[in-house]
Structure 1
Amino acid sequence: MEQLKCCVLIPTYNNHKTLAKVIDGVLAYTKNIIIINDGATDATALILESYAELEQIHLPQNKGKGNALKLGFQKAVDLGYDFAITIDSDGQHFPKDIPIFLDALETETNKNVIYIGSRNMNQDDVPGSSSFGNKFSNFWFWFETGIRLKDTQSGYRLYPLREIEKLKLYTPKFEFEIEVIVKAAWSGTLVKNLPIHISYDDAERVSHFRKIPDFARISVLNTWFVLVALFWIKPRDLYRRFRKKGFRRFVREDLLQSSDSPRKKALSIALGVGIGLSPLWGFHTIIVLFLAVLLKLNKVIAFAFSNVSLAPFIPFVLYLSLKTGAFITGEELIYTVDEMVDNLGFITHLKTYIIGSISLSIVASTIFGFLGYLILTVFDRKKIALNNG
């Protein structure tokens, strides 16, 4: 604890039955403890009088776990700590697991890491609602960050304080523990699970998680994060990789040399082209990434080829769509590309445009997918022959 400049944060609210046991358990490992009394109305204040030697923050009113943790983080930074382990005061976590976090951090090359205690959600005393909520949270965390974890809701964690201090964190209650790991992952912090023990002893444990309002707050937050991930984070990361590697290296490493099969890559190309040429303007990115995830295709390839309708190509895409629609419907349309864009005359033929756009996207996606499969298959065979040679 001393070498790593690490402390333990214990946020607490009306857990007088288990608080002293948790504090005593942590004291067996360290005195670097900060307790945040989040406006408790039970015997918490009286219990904490027996631990006057420990750093304490007392709030006059309950404002939520997220707010308590933020105050604890700031206090820890002010005291010169670099890391903080958070442990719940309701008795579900075991202080004997503290060395698990310290051992992992000590051997970690990149110290910019958040460790989340991974609970065994299959043990008999775990409530079904907790297991479901955790799976729900894990899925959305993966969708938003691309990181697969077994447990994203455990409050037993280790945080890198200097990195957390850089984040703009707003939520005050339980949803804070989702906000902080998503934003940290987006900023480049590693987020990993470590196995821990867990207890759901209903005789002592008091949970203040309100299933309907707190789950609703978490759902709203995840909805917002999904939109941010689709419209900003994923395109940003793709652009950064493209800019860092350059066009040829990006194509070679991210598209051609990915471990996906030629069939999967070709289907990803077809998906990207099909969505990019569709009349769903303004929604191409969110739709193509959602379908790529849903269909387990290559997100990078699908997104890259969906940009077939980038700004410089839009007039030509509209023109081809309108001409295709006119050919199918038999309608006579006389437009040049310039006339169509300048006068927006194609809007008066919206039905023709939509028919043509959908038809064009289907035909183009089929052609590009088929050609992509042929080229990628040849490339894949050459690569295998080269490796074997």
Structure 2
Amino acid sequence: MIKEFTNQKIDLFKVCVIIPTYNNCKTLARVIDGVLLYTTNIIVVNDGATDATLEILKKYPQIQQIHLSKNKGKGNALRIGLAHAQKHNFKYAITIDSDGQHFSEDIPVFITALEKAENKNILLIGARNMNQESVPKKSSFGNKFSNFWFWVETGIKLKDTQSGYRLYPLEELAKLNFYTSKFEFEIEVIVKAAWNDIIVKNVPVKVLYDETERVSHFRPFKDFTRISILNTWLVMVTFLYIKPRNFFQNLKKKGIKRFFVEDFLGSHDSPTKKALSIALGTFIGLSPFWGFHTVLVFFLAITLKLNKVIAFGFSNLSLPPFIPFIIYASSKIGQFILGTNYSYTIEEISTDFEVFKHLKTYIVGSFSLAIISATLLGVFSYVFFVIFHKKINHNE
């Protein structure tokens, strides 16, 4: 009954199942047979297998097959399978690994989650129990490592970001650009999906690690290096582009007044946390780390568990129109502290001010200005928020 119901929903939502495979002849037939219990909408991507895969697939003429002449990696196979699925008018694709670790009876879990979702622009990842005894320690560690960086890059906390058992929204993915072709593609795709307002969430699935059958093609050194390089790039893009973009999009969408009321005053953070966020943003914005303000403020806000929106907002004290005034004030404070004296105007600072000639003075003054301003604004805002929160609680 469940299988018939799932089959109907699969057709209703135009879902197919993609099985990328490379030298998994021991488990491939079992995986295909399991999926066939729910649907014949199957696309197998043979990624240049050199074992008995081709002979096995000859027994399944009823399913779609793509045979690649050379092995180019799981990411490449998935991208080809996803593009093929969209070309054949499928709206969603469930991907399942051919190594036998996934259970076909979890297909209804994805379909039910899709049916219940109000927003169908959704990407579902099967969350495995990585604490069970059969799961290799290196796999459990790798998953935690991946989960952490996904959170840094998107702000979304997931239990499992490495599972290959997923449901993809094909039309939305077709709008995105991808550059990886190995195992790291499964990280790139979920990060970019989250960046582009696709809902990314976990659904619970079972997992089987049978070392007597399972063949893993993950190369610890090469693939981990690829993943680390990708995460480094994604983190840079996150701090330099995505988070500032989201901030200004939110500001533009809400308007300054509504943004101030909802995200600043209306934040549920404590007065201490808000004040420290303001102090951090002010300090970074006035510090001499030009070109790195955005990276630093988001990194420190995340590390210190402060309000990223508030911290970033106040770091924009160093917007271009204010830069000459900040340099002027920093230099004057630096002169006072170091006991030096030289004269110049605001106009000279913005044109031909010899900043390197007075670099020591500027740096000392800049840090001093940042510390003084951050302290004053932090204390003032703390008092303000304490009074504001008391007033709100009293009215309630």
**With structure 2 as the length reference, what TM-score do the two structures score?**
0.97
Alpha-carbon separation, structure 1, partners of 2:251 and 2:395: 26
Do residues 118 (structure 1) and 127 (structure 2) align?
Answer: yes
Q: Which position in structure 2 is the counterpart of 1:140?
A: 149
SS in 2 for 1:50: coil
Provide structure 2 residue ranges, at least 5 long, that are not aligned to the other structure.
1-9
Pairwise CA distance, 1:198: 0.4
Q: Deviations over 1:339-383 (max 9, x none)?
A: 233221332111111111111111110000001101111111111
Q: Which position in structure 2 is the counterpart of 1:323?
A: 332
Q: Which position in structure 1 is the counterpart of 2:22?
A: 13
Q: Which position in structure 2 is the counterpart of 1:377?
A: 386
SS in 2 for 1:84: strand
SS in 2 for 1:2: helix
Do residues 190 (structure 1) and 190 (structure 2) align?
Answer: no
Provide structure 1 residue ranges, at least 5 long, that are not aligned to the other structure.
none
Q: Which position in structure 1 is the counterpart of 2:261?
A: 252
Pairwise CA distance, 1:169: 1.2
Q: Which position in structure 1 is the counterpart of 2:77?
A: 68
After superposition, residues 322-361 of structure 1 pair within 5 angstroms as: 322-361=331-370
Contact 1:323-1:333 at 8 Å conserved across structures: no
Alpha-carbon separation, structure 2, partners of 1:134 and 1:104: 23
Q: Which position in structure 2 is the counterpart of 1:236?
A: 245
The structure 2 residue matched to 1:286, chosen from 269, 291, 295, is: 295
Q: Deviations over 1:206-234 (max 9, x none)?
A: 01011110111011111111011101110
Q: Which position in structure 2 is the counterpart of 1:109?
A: 118
SS in 2 for 1:301: helix
SS in 2 for 1:153: coil
Alpha-carbon separation, structure 2, partners of 1:339 and 1:156: 61
Return the letter of the residue paired with 2:314: F
Alpha-carbon separation, structure 2, partners of 1:55 and 1:300: 48
Q: Deviations over 1:128-178 (max 9, x none)?
A: 111111111111111111111010000000001111111111211111101
After superposition, residues 41-80 of structure 1 pair within 5 angstroms as: 41-80=50-89
The structure 2 residue matched to 1:218, chosen from 227, 246, 265, is: 227
The structure 1 residue matched to 2:97, chosen from 79, 88, 104, is: 88
Return the letter of the residue paired with 1:261: S
Contact 1:272-1:302 at 8 Å conserved across structures: yes
CA RMSD after TM alignment: 0.8
Alpha-carbon separation, structure 1, partners of 2:395 and 2:43: 59
Contact 1:322-1:346 at 8 Å conserved across structures: no
Alpha-carbon separation, structure 1, partners of 2:35 and 2:80: 20
Contact 1:325-1:356 at 8 Å conserved across structures: yes
Return the letter of the residue paired with 2:199: L
Aligned pair count? 387
Alpha-carbon separation, structure 2, partners of 1:339 and 1:58: 67
The percentage of aligned residue pairs carrying the same residue is 61
Contact 1:63-1:172 at 8 Å conserved across structures: yes
Alpha-carbon separation, structure 1, partners of 2:88 and 2:343: 74
Pairwise CA distance, 1:4: 1.1
SS in 1 for 2:255: helix
Structure 1 residue runs of 4 or more that deviate by more than 3 Å after TM superposition: none
Alpha-carbon separation, structure 1, partners of 2:243 and 2:61: 48
The structure 2 residue matched to 1:151, chosen from 145, 155, 160, is: 160
